[in-house]
Chains A and B, each alone.
Chain A
Amino acid sequence: MTSLWPRLEPLLPHVQKPARYIGCEDGAVTPEHGPGKVAWLLVYPDTYEIGLPNQGLQILYEILNERPDAVAERSYAPWTDLEAKLRERGIPLFSVDTHRAAGEFDVLAFNLSAELVYTNLLNCIDLAGVPVRAADRAPEHPIVVAGGHCTFNPEPVADFIDAAVIGDGEEVVSEITERVREWKAGGRTPGSRQRLLRDLASVPGVYVPSMYEPVYDGERLVAIEPRFPDVPERVEKRTIADLGDWPYPKRQLVPLTEVVHDRLNVEVFRGCTRGCRFCQAGMITRPVRERPADQVRTMVLDGLRRTGYDEVSLTSLSSADFSGIEGVVADVVDQPAGCGNVSISLPSLRVDAFTVGIASQIQRARRTGLTFAPEAGTWRMRQIINKLIREEDLYGAVESAYSQGWRRVKLYFMTGLPSETDQDTLGIAELARNVVAIGRRHNKHASATVSVGGFVPKPHTPFQWFGQNTAAELHRKVGLLRDELRRERGVQLKWHDPKASLAEGIASRGDRRVGAAIEHVWRHGGTFQEWSEHFDLGLWEEAMAANGLSIDWYVHRHRTEDEVLPWDHISAGLHKDFLWQDWQDALHELGVEDCRWTPCYDCGVCTGYSIEHVVASPVPPAGGSQGTGQDLATGGERPAHLLGTRAVPVTIGARPA
């Protein structure tokens, strides 16, 4: 192989942020490739700053490089300025570790964390010199694999990938390596690619789209059928039973240039059973698997010493739920490395589990930003989404924060939720005002930043049947809040572009036919659609129309109970009838408890896979949780002027007569 570095180096003085293309991170390896080794290129199809911190990619990078029969390098989407220069000179996509051409790897493995990167997936495949459609690939081309949360509905990208991994990747990458190694040893003869793919289709957790045929009746999808008898009808997700067996990353990459989440990250648990009905991550990563507290401490202390970071984030879907979180936080703050100036961030804090104890521990070091996510403005709405936090929980949490010296908190909300009324939307403003009023008791400059995102229904959630609000409706609701909060100096309102939510909706619940639209957007220059300066809804609308696809049908239409969903052949372990029942409960404003501390309600995951929660504490954290340790009867307190309003009658998604 030849390094592309001598050809890249002269280009770098002429592009923005050239340090993102040089590699050289602490923790990076310079692997020795060889004929007996399967070469993986792990690609994050967005910029280096976004992709480098991705923990999933770093975990697989280490696991693969530990194997004697595999090597792994990394690549990120080059920004448009470098891409233009690469294309002009015929230089392909490259790894940042040894600047090797992407086409020289055996496997191109993409992390798909968000739907709007799909056009970048195509762009990276193309930049690698590989045909973007899987059907056009020849024996000399790498196998294109995708993983990450988005692959739970792989259909929109089915035509572009050779295989998708569903669920945790720690174990399955080794199983894929073994099969690709045999393929490589066999000389990649004509026809062998098809045999490899068919073989991969039988690996649990691996979905090979070309082995399945979608069947339509008019515009309705009727079935997705295996083409061969040895191909499973349903692909079950992979789940590692015990996070304690996987203390990765052991050598987290320390970038030379600024990236997002630029700190030590230690995953304290995976999975979440709070049961928020909008949350795809919580539904598809069940059950809860906590890392042993001692291992967390070791990973934090070793990691700080090795990296020189002065900030550590204890990551999970809801970090305050970790058993004994206060003790772990105290130990980290008290540790000797970093001259006693180590700060801690806890992303995804639930307000009902955030206490003065945690607040006072965190602020002993440097104070980091605090973000709380009530998600919805009224108790009625929070019952519907099953995020059972009461107003007093929120007020208690912000009281803890402001009283411990924070001047600003961030609050995250969604709008466009099922059966949402304008009163529900305006409840966001009321909560924000009350939060700032509490803050002012402690600091006259107290403020709150309110971020509002348009709700995009996701596959494998109880809200997968719900028709997304139109961009115009989301825009109107944001406008309501803007008017309501215009005079409120302490509240800063931010919102996500409703047009981007619309494009996300197309890709989120699309079927295989949507692939043609994604390709159209890419072919017309629509890369980096996650970036507002590049996002172009017009391209998406044009792409859908050009392929005879209706945005309304894919995005805004409520699905019915009997409808075959494009991801029905992909299993997150959740029974479809459980999800449907939960959807009906939502519409009746009924919550469910968190099953890690209460009896099983049989969502299907633990029983189906014979696995269990790994939770050290038998009781919920202080402050109660999701129906346990809380008196939910008091939750109905609403802003006074909203009392007496009632939701519209439930008519959504019912079985057609």
Chain B
Amino acid sequence: MRLRIRYARLGKVRFTSHRDVARIWERALRRTELPVAYSAGFSPRPKLAFGLALPTGAESVAEYLDVELAGAGPVPDELPDRLSAALPAGLDVLAVAPLEAGADSLQHAVTSCTWTVEVLDLDADRAESLVAAALAAGTLVVTRQRKGKAVTDDLRPALLALGVNGPTPAGVELHAELSTQPRGVRTSELLAALDPGLQEGLVRRTHQWIQRDDGRVEPLPLERLPGTVGAHTSRVAERVS
């Protein structure tokens, strides 16, 4: 049986890396004594599948992890809280649900992510005009380093939505939906395309999306899971909306 877990990464713990978080999860699952399935061989590893890497320093309320269990059975109501208690402060489990057999892996299924991006020292009016210009543009060309070579990319096809949320104490907050396929576009690349002088502040992933013929869905929406959101997570859930 596979479980899909949705969790948040907020506060100081956002400075951990994707690899750090993977190790933290392995230890947390052992601490909760969940019967995780292990790979065979000389060096058995727990069977965990993480979704798209979150950049070091970014927050998120939409991180996902699939865990394969050695047996089947109902998901206990208190599991999110038990897992949160075994995780460091700032990593909080928002929802847990069994995954139907044959479901696509997170890496394959997710097609886009929604982000909030704080831009430092920028006022809302200027932000609005940058956003309008980007949405009106036919191409948004950026240059990035790849294997030591400069590569140019057009980000416009990957920019699915962009808007201004409003001012923050240090600048202005934007929201953007960026495609993850064929590759995940970073928010820093988007800012560079808007204006190379922009400085990125706090970044938060708010949603991951799976595009289907009948519309887009989240890998594990929060509202579908009454009863599994504990006191610990409802506080976090407030920050989702």
On A, residues with C-beta under 8 Å from B are: 5, 12-13, 17-19, 21-26, 254, 256-258, 305-310, 337-339, 341, 366-367
> Across the two chains, which residue of chain A brings its CB closest to B19?
A258
B225 close to A (CB within 8 Å): no
A309 to B29, alpha carbons, bound, how many Å?
Answer: 10
User: Which B residues fall within an 8 A CB radius of A?
Assistant: 12-13, 15-17, 19-20, 23-24, 26-31, 33, 35-36, 38, 42-44, 56-57, 86, 88-90, 200
How far is the CB of A75 from the nearest CB of chain B, in Å?
16
Cβ B42 vs Cβ A254 within 8 A: no
A-B contact pairs, 29 of them (CB 8 A): A5-B12, A12-B15, A12-B57, A13-B200, A18-B15, A18-B56, A19-B16, A19-B20, A19-B56, A22-B13, A24-B88, A24-B89, A25-B88, A254-B27, A256-B20, A256-B24, A258-B19, A258-B23, A306-B31, A307-B27, A308-B27, A308-B28, A308-B29, A308-B30, A309-B27, A309-B30, A337-B33, A338-B30, A367-B42
Contact A19 B15 (CB under 8 A): yes
Contacts of A12 in B (CB 8 A): 15, 57
Q: A19-B17, A308-B27, A339-B38 are in contact. Are A26 and B56 (CB under 8 A)?
A: no
Extra contacts, 12 of them, besides A256-B13, A307-B31 (Cβ < 8 A), are A12-B15, A13-B57, A17-B17, A18-B15, A19-B17, A22-B12, A22-B15, A24-B12, A24-B90, A256-B24, A258-B20, A339-B38
B86 to chain A minimum Cβ distance, whole angstroms, is 7
Contacts of B86 in A (CB 8 A): 308
- In the assembled complex, which residues on chain A have CB atoms less than 8 Å from the CB atom of B43? 366-367
Query: Could you say which residues of chain A place their CB within 8 Å of the CB of B33?
Result: 337
Complex contact A23–B36 (CB within 8 A) = no
Contact of A308 among B19, B26, B38, B42 (CB under 8 A): B26
Beta-carbon nearest neighbor of B23 in chain A: A258
Do the beta carbons of A256 and B31 come within 8 Å of each other? no
Contacts of B31 in A (CB 8 A): 305-308
Cross-chain contact of B44 among A307, A308, A366 (Cβ < 8 A): A366
- From B23, B27, B57, B200, give the contact of A18 (CB < 8 A): B57
| Inter-chain contacts of B29 with A (CB < 8 A) | 308
Q: Which of A25, A306, A338 has the most CB of B within 10 A?
A: A338
Instruction: Give the shortest distance, in Å, between A193 (CB) and chain B (any CB).
Output: 36
B215 to chain A, nearest CB (A): 35
> B35 — which chain A residues lie within 8 A by C-beta?
339
B168 CB → nearest A CB, Å: 13
Contact indicator A341/B12 (Cβ below 8 Å): no
Q: How far is the CB of B96 from chain A (nearest CB, A)?
A: 18
Residues of B within 8 A of A22 (CB): 12-13, 15-16
Cβ of A94 to closest chain B Cβ, rounded Å: 13
Please measure, in the bound complex, the distance between the C-alpha atom of A339 and the C-alpha atom of B24, giving whole angstroms.
Answer: 17
The 6 closest A-B CB pairs, nearest first, are A308-B27, A18-B15, A308-B31, A308-B30, A22-B12, A13-B57
Write the chain B residue with the least CB distance to A308: B27
